[in-house]
């Protein structure tokens, strides 16, 4: 469904999630500043993004705003629209491509996209040095030349 290009949030709409009654954000440019006084919902906005994408392990026990019957998050990523609805009986996820096709395994798709963004420091620490290096090199979009790394670090880089 998605291409290998990076995903960008085109629009976030959420209603009755955590402290939020309703919010709609349409980011412009490459940097988005989320600011406001304490208890204004800044963290709730960031949590909405994570809840929409992250699935079961990312969800708190009670994501629905106190007093509301259900909560909803709609996250437009350009190539796909992610919708997660919370009710008292559970969480429901729907992912639709920009051409209207609904994904049969939406959480599996999102997990594959998040793989590069999610980071487990304990799992990383258990990897061999070579595997750690490989993982970090895959995350960095800057071409690195082994000879330059050796000159800068003074450490021989395996090829």
Q: Which of 102, 142, 74 is nearest to 1 (CA)?
A: 102
- Please give the Cα distance from 147 to 118 (Å, whole number): 30
pLDDT of residue 116: 56
pLDDT of residue 126: 80
Residues 64 and 128 placed together within one structural domain of the fold: no
pLDDT of residue 156: 81
Residue 45 lies in a domain: yes
Residues 101 and 126 placed together within one structural domain of the fold: no
* Cβ 63 vs Cβ 86: under 8 Å: yes
Residues 20 and 85 placed together within one structural domain of the fold: yes
Domain count for the chain: 2
pLDDT of residue 119: 62
Q: Domain of residue 128: give its range.
A: 122-153
pLDDT of residue 94: 97
Residues 92 and 137 placed together within one structural domain of the fold: no
pLDDT of residue 1: 54
Residues 52 and 127 placed together within one structural domain of the fold: no
Residue 1 lies in a domain: no
pTM exceeds 0.75 for this model? no
Residues in contact with 85: Cβ distance below 8 Å, sequence separation at least 6, in sequence order? 70, 71, 72, 73, 91, 92
* pLDDT by position in tens, the chain (length 159): 555 456 789 999 999 999 899 999 999 888 888 888 998 888 899 899 989 988 777 788 899 999 999 999 999 999 999 999 999 999 999 999 999 999 999 998 988 887 655 666 677 778 888 888 777 777 665 666 778 777 887 878 776
Residues 92 and 143 placed together within one structural domain of the fold: no
Residues 127 and 106 placed together within one structural domain of the fold: no
Residues 17 and 85 placed together within one structural domain of the fold: yes
pLDDT of residue 45: 92
Residue 127 lies in a domain: yes
pLDDT of residue 83: 97
């Amino acid at each position: 469904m998605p291409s290998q290009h990076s995903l960008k949030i085109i629009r976030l709409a959420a209603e009755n999630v955590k402290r939020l009654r309703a919010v709609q954000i349409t980011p412009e440019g490459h940097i988005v500043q989320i600011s406001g006084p304490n208890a204004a919902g800044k963290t709730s906005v960031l949590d909405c993004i994570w809840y929409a994408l992250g699935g079961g392990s990312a969800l708190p026990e009670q994501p629905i705003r106190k007093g509301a019957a259900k909560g909803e998050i709609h996250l437009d990523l350009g190539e796909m629209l992610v919708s997660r609805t919370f009710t008292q009986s559970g969480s429901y996820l729907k992912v639709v491509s920009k051409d209207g096709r609904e994904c049969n395994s939406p959480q599996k798709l999102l997990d594959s996209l998040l793989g590069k963004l999610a980071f487990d420091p304990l799992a990383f620490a258990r990897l061999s040095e070579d595997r750690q290096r490989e993982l970090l090199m895959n995350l960095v979009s800057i071409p690195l030349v082994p000879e330059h790394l050796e000159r800068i670090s003074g450490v021989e880089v395996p090829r």
